[in-house]
Structure 1
Amino acid sequence: MMRSFFIFLFTFVLFGQYTRCGAQEIITPNERQLKWQEAELGAIFHYDLHVFDGKKYNQARNRLVPVPDIQIFNPSQLDVEQWVLSAKAMGAKFALITATHETGFALFPSQYNPYNVSQLNFKEGKADLVKDFVDACRKHGIKPGVYLGIRWNSFFGVHDFVVDGTGEFQLGRQQYYNKMVEGMVQEICTNYGELFEIWFDGGASSPAKGAPDVLPIVKKLQPNCLFYHNDELAEARWGGSESGTVGYPNWSTFTFHYTGSGESAPAAIAANHYQLLKQGDREGKYFMPAMADAPLRGAQGRHEWFWEPGDEHTIYPLQDLLNMYYKSVGRNATLILGITPDTSGLVPKGDFDRLKAFGDAVNKRFSTPLARTHGTEKIIHITLPKIQHVNQLVIQEDIKYGHRVLSFVVEAKIGSGWKVIDQGTAIGNKYMKLLAEPVHAKSFRLRLVETKATPFIKDFSIYDVN
């Protein structure tokens, strides 16, 4: 009974935030969601035992078959700080490390999970990649986060949170696994300082379904950390694909306070190829911003979250990464790129260089607008000193006040009249548009056609980019 009250109260605190404007409720983010959405760009580093087996990654096999010899984990030049520098080079504001993935092997010394780095010959069992990662993040101004895979564990025989077996034998092993996971979550939340996000792979299910009870641990020990996610709560949502993009319009509000995962997702979420995840719900009662994720090595018909030999050709070209950026960050989502160190323990040079080129290109395109302004009026003007070539727009609402703009047009004064050069619905944290047809004009205006209440436009910018 007390736990049910806790979940009810916590859900109300998280998602009961709204401003009533006339007859309309405006759903607003909590502080964790606001900081996560404003961060806009992050990285996740995938590293596990099978990086070292010399084979192509096989998810189905890795979920079922334990790695025969954990001593293959033996990076010759491990430098976790170099990983973080690759994220910094691309402009990431936060980064996560896969502390555990589908093998169940932990990249940190755990008192609860015996299957961890302390059992390695590598560094005489004294490695702690999570500590090295978190320390490097803080050193370089990146907000650290941790990814925990608890849904699958080939070493313990766990499939979709359920331990193999039947009867009392299975029940005992399930109880052991649940306590082990809860202990690991407590270690992660206690031993590494404040975290920006905890990401449970495929969600974390819920104790009502017999799974580990992780939500109260995270909320007690990491109150400032974004929780992603379980069947009781999602403070962010997966954007419906691993393409690094979301649909448009993309609203930060959602129909449900959780999303489920795969076959556990509510039918309304799974319908039409996860369209609800890709676009959100304009009238949704819960604030739940979208995450767009993709592996850096996802080109040429490949989709690689973990390093594999001979896959250098699958690194996304720069133009593809920029396209992702416009269709994720530029559509009110947070983009997270997957980066994978190799057997040496380094992010390969080709990957690092592409990430830096991406960061440089984004900085070049968005650091110097021709003009920018802000305001709370229904029409906001920009007037240039002279007629100029304009081909890019950026609009931002102050999202801490929620979605207030429901539709808008951008116009340029051509001759004696105003011409519509772009139009849309959702703005949210950021709307970016590279115009198909550049405009030559001196006067521009943002006209907010439909709003819920007084709009808070914190940025209306125009650019001339190559």
Structure 2
Amino acid sequence: MFLSSVLLCGSITPGFAQKKKIPIPTPAQLVWQDAELTAVFHYDLHVFDGKKYNQAYNRTTPIPDINIFNPEQYDTDQWIRSAKGMGAKIAIITATHETGFALYQSDVNPYCMKALKWKEGKGDIVRDFVNSCRKYGVKPGIYIGIRWNSFLGVYDFMMPKDGTKFQQNRQAFYNKMCEGMTEELMSRYGDLAIVWYDGGGHGPELGGADILPIVEKYQKNIIFYHNSQRADIRWGGSESGTVPYPCWGTYPFPYSHSKNQEVVLKNDFQLLKTGDPEGDYYMPAMSDAPLRGYNGRHEWFWEPDDEAHVFPLGDLMNMYEKSVGRNSTLILGLTPDDRGLIPSVDSLRLSEFGNTIKAKYGNPLKSISGEGDKYEMKFKSPVEVSCFVIQEDIRYGERIRSYVIEGKVNGQWTVLCEGSCIGHKRIEKLASPVRLSVVRLKIKDSLDKPLVKNFSMF
């Protein structure tokens, strides 16, 4: 099993006596947090039925005609250009979702692209998607939905239970098929940044497929999310695209799916949302939301006449600052339409989002990095400051436990903001701009020598 390791530092700076072993991220977890922005593309048969998506219905009702699937202007390059427009460094494709239909050439699941008239049964969206990712310098990932399968009648990982040998045989067949799809998807498309089993993967101890050994055989440097045996990231507790503050990258036990449920479910997923600063496992939070989630809507799949529900730019920036700016990675759900394209309204908003992030956080007034408990930046004459970005060097774990940012206003030191968790990135926005001649970051408490990768002002 592949879990985050723990670093016990040899040298301890006076004044920062190490209090505990410090969990450190794996290389894959570092890539994940450095990405900051990820896109997940939802595509399935019901995109083409002209109806509003009904999750409960789609989980239990097979699609009558598989050949409604016919994206005549299909272009995965355009999908990835749209994701890259917002600054996404990782992109994930739903290889299978609740219908059970596989968006690739499967040899173990006959309910796949081989059965279509589209492209004479030779299409492979996963292949095209991965190729487009590599063409544009985006790391590919794959989402494998095995919890629901309306075509085969699977509900919550399981065939209908009736205690008969027939049911047992069907469950064994389904588990074997899920293992086979995992092997195909992990072995055919090169190195992947993440594999995402939505709702979990249900390990064999729960009667489900034995997927983890297959993933670990073919993908040595992948984010695995998730089953009862392993999880390298955690859900942030809502689909709002935000997490509360503080949001620590550490967690008290290896994973939560089907384990420790009383603790995990308590107080509206509070533990998932905040993590645990005393946790022994490195497991950072993700923040996910669909781009089409505005004004009462929450749509992961394209539907007709839904353009008004693309999030406004201000809402997206709020997500960014309350996810990436709170030590989490933001996953935004994108929705190719029945033509096979990301709609222009969506693509334009993504570009606006990416450009605004660059404009607001791309050119700091001044930056500093280093080791120790104090970091100071001076100016020849006062400058107007509205926000700060702080980053730890998380290769060595989350060490800092509290900090304060002070500025010299009219010759007097003034507390501008203070907090606890920094981790990969902390964005501190001031209530109103302040003119400053000197700024300093003071680390008040740390498990070991503070390692500040970046302290910037904007």
TM-score by length of 2: 0.97
> Which residue of 223, 227, 233 maps to 2:224?
227
Partner of 1:70: 66
Q: Does 1:90 find its partner at 2:86? A: yes
Q: Secondary structure at the match of 1:444?
A: strand
1:32-181 maps to which residues of 2 (within 5 A)?
32-166=28-162, 167-181=164-178
- Residue in structure 2 matched with residue 419 of structure 1 by the alignment: 414
- In structure 1, the residue matched to 2:7 is 18
Write the distance in 2 (CA, Å) between the matches of 1:243 and 1:122.
36
Task: Give the Cα–Cα distance (whole angstroms) in 2 for the partners of residues 28 and 292 of structure 1.
Answer: 21
Please tell me whether the aligned partners of residues 32 and 224 of structure 1 are also in contact (alpha carbons under 8 angstroms): yes
Equivalent position of 1:439 in the other structure: 434
Query: 2-side partners of 1:399 and 1:15: how far apart?
Result: 13
The Cα shift of 1:160 comes to: 0.9
Q: Which amino acid aligns with 2:242?
A: T
- The answer on 1:322 being equivalent to 2:344 is no
Q: Identify which of 233, 237, 247 aligns with 2:234.
A: 237
Where has structure 1 moved over 6 Å in runs of 4 or more?
none
Aligned twin of 1:6: none
Question: In 2 relative to 1, CA 243–299 (structure 1 residues): closer, same or farther, beyond 3 Å?
Answer: same
Whether 2:369 is the aligned partner of 1:374: answer yes
Whether contact under 8 Å (2:6, 2:21) holds in the other structure is no
How far apart are residue 25 of structure 1 and its match? 1.1
CA RMSD of aligned residues (A): 1.1
Report how far residue 266 of structure 1 moved.
Answer: 1.3
Normalised to the residue count of structure 1, the TM-score between the two structures is 0.95
Q: Cα deviations across residues 240-287 of structure 1 (Å, max 9, x unaligned)?
A: 0000000100000001211217xx761101111101111100100100
Once residues 273 and 73 of structure 2 are traced to their aligned partners in structure 1, the CA distance between those partners, rounded to angstroms, is 40
Residue equivalent to 1:293: 288
Structure 1 runs not aligned, ≥5 long:
1-9
Shift, 1:369, TM fit: 0.5
Kept in 2, the 8 Å contact 1:103–1:153? The answer is yes
For residue 437 of structure 1, report the CA deviation from its aligned partner: 2.1
In 2: Cα distance, 1:267 partner to 1:430 partner: 30
Q: Distance in 2 between matches of 1:345 and 1:265?
A: 42
* Kept in 1: contact 2:389–2:456 (CA 8 A): yes
Tell me which of the two structures has the higher relative contact order, counting C-alpha pairs closer than 8 angstroms and 6 or more residues apart.
Answer: 2
SS in 1 for 2:221: coil
Counterpart for residue 191 of structure 1: 188
Picking from 275, 279, 296, the partner of 2:274 is 279
Cα distance in 2 for residues equivalent to 1:383 and 1:441:
9
The 3-state SS of whatever aligns with 1:162 is coil
Contact 1:15 1:257 in 2 (8 A): no
Query: Counterpart in 1 of 2:385?
Result: 390
Quote how far apart the aligned CAs of 1:165 are.
4.2
Does 1:364 find its partner at 2:359? yes
Instruction: Tell me the secondary structure at the aligned position of residue 217 of structure 2.
Output: helix
Residue aligned with 2:181, SS: helix
Identity among equivalent pairs (%): 53
Task: Check the 8 A contact 2:316/2:353 in 1, yes or no.
Answer: yes
Partners of 2:172 and 2:320 in 1: how far apart? Answer: 43
Q: Taking structure 1 as reference, are residues 285 and 316 closer, same or farther at Cα in structure 2, changes over 3 Å only?
A: same
Judge conservation of contact 1:17–1:30 (CA < 8 Å) in 2.
no
Find the counterpart in structure 1 of residue 15 from structure 2: none
The letter for the 2-side match of 1:182 is E
- Describe the superposition over 1:75-97 as per-residue Cα deviations: whole angstroms up to 9, x where unpaired: 11000111011001110001000
> What is the aligned partner in structure 2 of residue 4 from structure 1?
none
